[in-house]
Chains A and B, each alone.
Chain A
Amino acid sequence: MTTRRVRRRIPVLLLVPALLGLAVLVVPLAGLLVETPWTRLWPRLASAEVWPALRLSLWCATLATGICLVLGVPLAWLLARADVPGRSLLRALVTVPLVLPPVVGGVALLLVFGRRGLIGQYLDAWFGVSLPFTTAGVVVAEAFVAMPFLVVAVEGALRAADPRFEEAAETLGASGWYTFRRVTLPSVAPAVLAGTVLCWARALGEFGATITFAGNFPGETTTMPLAVYLALESDPEAAIVLSVVLLTVSVAVLAGMRDRWVRRAA
């Protein structure tokens, strides 16, 4: 006797909304690809206005990710392991920028780092440093928005990591820092990598906080998303080309991460 595979009928009430949902996610991207002037893509890409924005975007996103790594991994460790009072409150605070509209983040940054801001006035008075409407401001805005992605990913991994190895390291004479560097961090390396990629992708796509806090000065603060927005009014075709570039980068990031996951599973 052979077993028969009987296809179960999918309820219509589930199937229809499911397909509509799929369409909502896929159709806009397909539309973008359909509307892309493929024959003129290379000449447009080679034109002067794309490269400064792309270069600035890559630089700022990478710098912001670097800041997030240096500050975010220790913060994740603090939230996951250290015996600090009010830890659940801290954890909640860290995740606020995840759900906060980026524009609000930009306004908040202006209030703090603006020339009359809480911290900005001293930065200006003591060091002559002003962050708003500068490339440094772009980096700060991107770090503000993207860091929670890294912290949340790394903190989850640290909480799941086996503390028994850290005990073993301690009995072998390792200091807290040495244990973290040689035992804890390597054990959460996959999560740090995944968090870094997510963080970088989020920083690359940042728009709201950037335009609010850093403004829109070509060559200085006009990143790719801002350039897309600008171009949409003056030169829609350029906007499409820039969008395709961003889409390509995003898909490449996603593919890279999938690769990583597959390798981990193997």
Chain B
Amino acid sequence: MGEAGGVTLDADLRLDRPGGFRLDLRLRVAPGEVVTLLGPNGAGKSTTLRAIAGLAPLTGGRISMSSQDWDVPPRRFTPPRDRGVGVVFQEYRLFPHMSVRENVAFGLRARGVDRHAARRRADEWLDVVGLRDHSGHRPHRLSGGQAQRAALARALATTPEVLLLDEPLAALDVSTRARVRAELSRHLARFGGATLLVSHDPLDAMTLADRLVIVEDGREVQSGTPVEVATRPRTDYVARLVGLNLLGGNATGDSVDLAGGGRLVPADPVRGPVWLAFPPSAVVLHATEPHGSARNHWPVTVTGIEQHGNTVRLHLEGRPTVLADVTPAAVAELRLAPGTALWAAVKATEIRAYPAEPGEGGMAGGAG
């Protein structure tokens, strides 16, 4: 069910909005592929979805599905109803005055399918998402997770070529989120068309995506598989999301001169502009200057202390400025408080070094 042929979404999105916001993003989504746009609020993720759905006309560029043009300003604009898109909105937007079944059948009825056939297809979809028992209910009686599945069934029932999901898990509470995420992942895997999903939550994005596109200020700043992005962040935003210290610098010999000052030695040989990434847990603290194997050590001052689950996250100012995760016992032992002077150390083998791309400005980076 849901096989929708092999049509690739190809979009060169340019959209200027009054107030100075500018979207400039190239996207290709192959059939069967799940691409997730990840970025902070206001980065232009939802605008991207609205442009592809036809709810926000482009001001430049082009959106095509294989050979068919959907939006080529100023000469061509296909209205939403004539595009093969299914949209799952952030607040689901189930029609409140219709039953769940009528909601799912709506797209088919709108396209001229007769009542009985539409209802039968709707029931099949409700079976797929496990909502058959709720088919006669009004949407307000559904839980958040159920409403999301109903919205998904409604979007898929019209067998779209492109499925667009805007923050599909954002409206759910933490307790149901993991389960709904797993179900959604299963349904997306079965969908044969191109899927574009928007999220600001790294866990949702990492688990649901085949490929991540990180968007900041209307532009792509990084893309790749979730593993690539998680292990080799290229912006402070991504580094914060995946919980890594990210430092830009220039490699000379076997050491790296950091953009923000200081010098580190990674285990891997590198050359030229590079990124260095290491987890906060790799940072070891000493009350006095350490002697021994750790070649990377430098004086720091504690500027912030936060409890994170079972660990304590320290903001350490120095050259470089980094985040460190330590145990509450270590906090007590070292008598840590804002202003405490310490020595930080990182083993060379804990530091991942990878080349910065041209124009990326690895030299400009700093700690998160």
Contact = CB atoms under 8 A, between A and B. Distances in A.
B154 A187 contact: no
Given A164-B91, A187-B96, 6 more contacts: A164-B93, A169-B110, A173-B110, A173-B111, A175-B81, A182-B106
Interface string A163-192: 011011111111100100011001101000
A173 B93 contact: no
B158 A168 contact: no
Given A178-B110, A183-B95, A186-B97, A170 B79 contact: yes
B80 A170 contact: yes
Contacts of A186: 97
B106 to A, nearest CB: 6
Nearest to A168: B93
Contacts of A170: 54-55, 79-81
Contacts of A178: 110
Interface stretch (B82-90, B285-293, B307-315): B82-90
B31 interface: no
A173 B158 contact: yes
Nearest to B157: A172
B140 to A, nearest CB: 14
Interface in B62-115: 79-82, 85-87, 89, 91, 93, 95-98, 106-107, 109-111
Interface of B: 53-55, 79-82, 85-87, 89, 91, 93, 95-98, 106-107, 109-111, 154-155, 158
5 contacts: A164-B91, A168-B93, A170-B79, A171-B53, A171-B87
Given A172-B158, A182-B106, A165 B95 contact: yes
Contacts of B55: 167, 170-171
Contacts of B154: 172
Contacts of A167: 55, 80, 93
Nearest to A182: B106
B95 A171 contact: no
Contacts of B111: 173
B106 A172 contact: yes
Interface residues of A, number: 17
Q: Which 4 A-B residue pairings sit nearest by Cβ, starting from the closest?
A: A172-B107, A174-B110, A168-B93, A171-B87
Given A164-B89, A168-B89, A169-B106, A174 B81 contact: yes
Contacts of B95: 165, 168-169, 182-183
Given A168-B89, A182-B106, A173 B81 contact: yes
Contacts of B106: 169, 172, 174, 182
A160 to B, nearest CB: 15
B76 to A, nearest CB: 18
A141 B107 CA distance: 43
A110 to B, nearest CB: 44
B165 to A, nearest CB: 12
A186 B99 CA distance: 13
Choose among A169, A170, A173 the residue with the greatest number of B CB atoms under 10 Å from its CB.
A173
Contacts of A165: 93, 95
A175 B155 CA distance: 16
A175 B91 CA distance: 22
Contacts of A175: 81, 110
B95 to A, nearest CB: 6
A187 B107 contact: no
B223 to A, nearest CB: 26
Contacts of A182: 95, 98, 106, 109-110
Interface string A202-238: 0000000000000000000000000000000000000
Nearest to B84: A173
Contact of B107 (A164, A173, A183): A173
B227 to A, nearest CB: 33
A184 B158 CA distance: 21
Nearest to A178: B110
B125 to A, nearest CB: 13
Nearest to B151: A168
B129 to A, nearest CB: 16
B110 A171 contact: no
A189 B158 CA distance: 28
Contact of A168 (B54, B82, B87): B87
A199 to B, nearest CB: 23
A247 B154 CA distance: 50
Contact of B80 (A164, A171, A183, A187): A171
Nearest to B154: A172
Contacts of B96: 187
Contacts of B110: 169, 172-175, 178, 182
A205 B342 CA distance: 89
Nearest to B81: A173
Interface string A236-248: 0000000000000
A105 B25 CA distance: 59
A170 B107 CA distance: 9
Nearest to B93: A168
A219 B155 CA distance: 58
Contacts of B85: 171
A182 B107 CA distance: 11
A103 to B, nearest CB: 43
A175 B53 CA distance: 15
Contacts of B80: 167, 170-171
Contacts of A171: 53-55, 80-81, 85-87
A183 B98 CA distance: 9
A263 to B, nearest CB: 15
A173 B78 CA distance: 12
A189 B98 CA distance: 14
Contact of A187 (B53, B54, B87, B97): B97
Contacts of B107: 172-174
